[in-house]
Structure 1
């Protein structure tokens, strides 16, 4: 079976906090990838400087101190780290809940919390309890010292920007009705720049210390996260939704420095017209070359299925939703499930979901009633139907795929290493065997197996299942390589090891 990429691999698997380091490179926190990379802006070359197997779990923002040390907020476990110029990481604090925005002011260090009722605190790398400067933040995020010596920070939920003296005092509102603010920055001329986390990529510029004029430009970069200005006042932005690094001109024009792409992907689906959709954590994306298109910022999209003009998605954080691409509306079908992952649609329109955290497969009918189809699994990850409406479910922990016939589940294939995505085409079952990085084909009539493709760019299964919530915030989702069948018989696979979707086409004499 021949295969080709629907989109280019992603150099940055999401890009969050960014800051220039002492070496002149732009350092990028990759929250989902659990690593920090450095970008040479002249060449676009990306180097991983803090790998995913280090002490940082989910780096979200970063700043550099006067001695060249890098300070990093590790959002999910609630830690703040110092990485010294030699590359040695030490823990600064674990007393901050959901730490996000971070700023260095001389030798002083400040962090805020991305939660309702959050705090802005000063931390002390040499020891000492945090000192609270402000509380009641409506989800803080990226902040910076302004020309007037005050710290500026957003309230993400209320569309406001505040400032406060590093020495304390009452916070002061400086900008209201700002579009979905996620980061506050100042350019080299002292103009306040506020980034929007929305789909349009809105940047709001406020001349606080001059005319007071407010100017808005639209960049088209969905899910802006952070910004940094170089010595010549060029503005570079990151995107939590699609990664990459983009230069943004004052009029909103953009220049891609590091290509944006997929931050996952997880599930993949193909509609009747051949449009491919990927569940890409923060969005539903359409993988294409030269650019991945954000169809909708649909936060926490993981599993995905297409049927009769609708998209059905799961979130590993517990819910199932139905999205109408034409109307751009979304309906919640179920909540409170335990890590629902793969999803498929039965012939009668019923949704069938692999509830990995509960070890069962559930059905959701047209009235949103949830019933158990089968249970007793260890870790069911994906589901698929054959032409006879028999359901197949992969169990990653057991290393097997089962068929559900209305009675006890029947083992169809066993001895696998981390089976994940499954799909049926004709009389063959296809399985993404993530532990061996290959795609297997199994004849349903004879049980005969063959390797359809190998050395695939699928991520290695994690040895532990991440917790869904820490301090009330979602953790990092579990990797999941989905699989889907297109109307022409091609298979589409989530190559989550590189951030692409592969199209695998049948070759003569197979299938």
Structure 2
């Protein structure tokens, strides 16, 4: 196998998805990273990022955070349904595990409040003993804050509304309706309510509740806003669940990057006939911009993990059970299959048939143009990816069995065995390429002779960690990472690895 040159198509980002943010006692901005399972601190003056709560600690899926008067950090651990207290000495205490998908969190003096990101959720005060219910019926709560009037403000994500309630309970009061996809409420130092939108345009709705009553919109262009914090100079810093990073957002819409944005994954990768690279990035379909190193959002399409290009169509899988087709020309989505068990890799046959690796069920499925689903192979361990050669022969990688199989009338025949966690696969010019994620290398198999060669990769794929359930309380949890592989024009291969896409070309290739 010829040696390969690997080139990153995007800049590395230290915050692969950024969620709740809050200023700590040391003046740094602390950022919860749900997908990464980490909490980091950002120095706004230098842009330096330090991981302060690593992924191997007790917190599994941090989504929001707040600081108490003594400097303790309180964390909502979304998927396991826990709330943690991280003491100033970096030790942890479990506050409660009796909350369904806790998300928004706020400290008011010595009182701690959280809400639940579920339909019909509750807003709770946490302390000794059972949580106190302030109110129920939240249409998916999220980031909340104490207002200048002493009330607690929170969004209803499902209904586009913002409510407030006294901290000691009472009847919630609607303060803003018809708000664009609200995800977080924040007040600037002047007391103006700022409601962040989770949509593609990055809209912030400003409501001067205690002054003129005026309502204005700011369109930032920052896809997937998640949360915000204001410093002592009233500067606004925002996070993005889709693109990560931390960005200063000026009142006139100008932005300044503090911590670079990038991919939340990425997961699967594909290349269309025009050579455009697309990746499935959990919350969106995205494109790397080389040589700038930026990432652009093709479309916010939540829970995308596998991807295959087919003209104007992008076929997508979600680990939460769906197969969908997105039409780039019409920007419409068609559901092809539902209720599957962790579908991952996807590819398209010459006749338009979709073939999907259903990892959780150990099967390979075919979905025809009429959305009829049939089995191509069963009895596999954990099939991760599929690929087809020029003769219409299908291949599947089995991560659990360490084998890549050729499907011969439904019978899996080993082509490459004794591999350590094979994931993404691609076929081109009579060679089968395999991303062997255990040792971090690319394996090439000559399908005619069986000759095998390997190339070590400068950056391996993200290592799987012990994750909570993919679903909790009926809602999606943390997906399992995997390395996608795709063949591009010429001798190019594209591999998702360590928060970026690697462009692999022969060493002598320009």
TM-score between both structures, scaled by the size of structure 1: 0.97
Contact 2:398–2:404 under 8 Å retained in 1: yes
1 CA distance for matches of 2:237 and 2:460? 30
C-alpha separation in 2, matches of 1:312 and 1:66: 49
Unmatched runs of 5 consecutive residues or more in structure 2:
none
RMSD: 1.1
- Residues 466, 478 of structure 1: 8 Å contact kept: no
Give the one of 121, 125, 129 matched to 1:122: 125
Distance 1:506 1:361 in 2: 32
Name the counterpart of 2:245. 244
Aligned to 1:453: 456
Q: Is the 8 A contact 1:247 1:255 kept in 2?
A: yes
Alignment partner, residue 478 of structure 2: 476
What is the alpha-carbon distance in structure 2 between the residues aligned to residue 256 and residue 422 of structure 1?
A: 35
| Partner secondary structure for residue 294 of structure 2 | coil
The equivalent of 1:235 in structure 2 is: 236
- Is the CA contact 1:193–1:206 (under 8 Å) kept in the aligned structure 2? yes
- Matched residues in 2 for 1:269 and 1:244: separation? 24
Aligned 8 A contact 2:182 2:195 in 1? yes
In the TM superposition, structure 1's runs of 4+ consecutive aligned residues that sit over 4 Å from their partners are none
Describe the superposition over 1:334-374 as per-residue Cα deviations: whole angstroms up to 9, x where unpaired: 00010000000011110000000000100000000000000
Length-normalised TM-score, structure 2: 0.97
Which string of whole-angstrom CA distances, capped at 9 and with x for unpartnered residues, describes residues 71-97 of structure 1?
000000000000000111110001110
1:227-306 residue pairs with structure 2 within 5 A?
227-288=228-289, 289-306=292-309
| 1:222 to partner: Cα distance | 0.3
Deviates more, 1:322-331 or 1:217-226: 322-331
- Alpha-carbon distance in 2 for matches of 1:456, 1:121: 44
Q: Give the Å deviation of 1:461.
A: 3.2
- Distance change in 2, residues 1:407/1:21 (3 Å): closer
Hey, what does 1:182 align to over in structure 2? Answer: 183
Cα distance, 1:489 vs structure 2? 2.8
**1:10–1:263 Cα contact (<8 Å) kept:** no
Deviation at residue 508 of structure 1 after TM alignment = 5.0
CA distance, structure 1, for counterparts of residue 400 and residue 450 of structure 2: 21
Pick from 386, 389, 396 the counterpart of residue 393 of structure 1: 396
Deviation at 1:488, TM superposition (A): 2.2
Task: Choose which of 33, 36, 53 in structure 2 pairs with 1:30.
Answer: 33
Name the residue aligned to 2:64. Answer: 61
Q: Secondary structure, in 3 states, of the residue corresponding to 1:104? A: strand
The number of residue pairs the alignment matches comes to: 504
Task: Please report how far the alpha carbon of residue 221 of structure 1 lies from its aligned counterpart in structure 2 after TM superposition.
Answer: 0.4
How far off is 1:455 after superposition?
3.7
Q: Deviations over 1:291-311 (max 9, x none)?
A: 200000000000000012210
CA distance in 2, matches of 1:327, 1:41: 41
Cα distance in structure 2, aligned partners of 1:290 and 1:343:
26
2:502 corresponds in structure 1 to: 502
Deviation, 1:466, is 4.8
Match of 1:417 in 2: 420
Contact 2:6/2:458 (8 A) holds in 1:
no
Partner of 1:153: 154
CA offsets 1:410-433 (integer angstroms, 9 cap, x no match): 000001000000001111111000
**Which ranges of structure 1 fall in alignment gaps of 5 or more residues?**
none
Q: Hey, what's the Cα distance between the residues in 2 that align with 1:407 and 1:70? A: 54
Distance in 2 (CA, whole Å) between partners of 1:439 and 1:135 is 52
**2:82 alignment partner, one of 79, 82, 88:** 79
CA distance in 2, matches of 1:377, 1:367: 26
